[in-house]
Amino acid sequence: MASSSSNLISLKTSDGTVFKVERALAKTMKTVQAIIEEADANIYMIPIHNVFSHHMDMIIDYYKLSVAGKSKEFSVEKLDNDELKDFLLAVHYLNMEDLFEVLTQAVADRLEKKSVGYVRKYFGIENDFTPEEYAAIRKKNDWAFKGDDIEPEEDEEKQEE
């Protein structure tokens, strides 16, 4: 039985894997920390919804690197856009500030110079501008675009490379 005075916290991911993590790591997850504080003295296992074992692997990697002062070496390059987005969602759920900022920056880098349609698709945002509204905003901001700029695209069917 893991008691609250033990150094390890058990976290159970959505896919059923149990991770025993150091208390210090659990502390970086504000969501988990809140659960621990609210629960009874002896909490056995904390379920973390929306977080899968492959997310936990990366979270533990990041933690180990930052403890060693090497957090800059952490990379999410190998993740494709959807995997990065899911990871971001998981980290957001767990409320881990530093890692969230790292991932946000990674998303920013990937969105750089992409069209409006791409951004919508990436975040799953619906375009609920009326054509009139959209045209009005475009007109107000026309000054920001040079002649040879790629205009902000509305066509969501344009695929990025």
Partner 1 sequence: MEEKTSTSPAPAPAPAMGEDDVWCKETVPKVLKLVCCSPSLNQKDLISLLFVSPFLYRTLLSSQPLWQLLNFREFNNAGNRLIAALSLPRYQHVKEINLEFASDIEDTHLILIKQKCFDSLQSLESLNLNGCQKISDTGIQAITSCCPRLKAFSVYWNVRVTDSGLLHTVTNCKHIVDLNISGCKNISDRGAQLVAENYPKLESLNLTRCVKLTDVGLKQLLQKCLSLQSLNLYAVSSFTDEAYKKICLLTRLTFLDLCGAQNLSDQGLKCISKCKNLVSLNLTWCVRVTDEGVIAAAQSCTSLEFLSLFGIVGVTDKCLEALSKSCSNTITTLDVNGCIGIKKRSREELLQLFPYLKCFKVHS
14 binds partner 1 (CB under 8 A): yes
Query: 8-46: buried (b, 16+ CB within 10 Å) or exposed (e) per residue?
Result: ebbbbbeeeeebebeeebbebbebbbebbeeeeeebeeb
**Residues 129, 102: contact at Cβ < 8 Å?**
no
Of the candidate residues 37, 40, 128, 161, the single one contacting partner 1 (CB under 8 A): 128
126 binds partner 1 (CB under 8 A): yes
28 binds partner 1 (CB under 8 A): no
Nearest to 74 by CA among 108, 103, 107, 109: 103
Of the candidate residues 54, 71, 74, 156, the single one contacting partner 1 (CB under 8 A): 156
Residues forming beta bridges with residue 147, ordered by sequence position: none
Task: Give residues 81-110 in contact with partner 1 (rule: CB under 8 A).
Answer: 82, 85-86, 88-89, 92, 101, 104-105, 107-109
Enclosing H/E stretch for 9: strand 8-13
Taking the complex as a whole, the smallest distance from the CB of residue 8 to partner 1 amounts, in Å, to 26
133 binds partner 1 (CB under 8 A): yes
Which lies closer to partner 1 via its Cβ, residue 8 or residue 125?
125
Measure Cα distances from 17 to 49, 55, 72, 127 in Å.
12, 11, 28, 38
- Residues forming contacts to partner 1 in the complex (CB under 8 A) are 14, 49-50, 52, 82, 85-86, 88-89, 92, 101, 104-105, 107-109, 111-113, 115-116, 119-131, 133-134, 137-138, 140-147, 149, 152, 154, 156-157
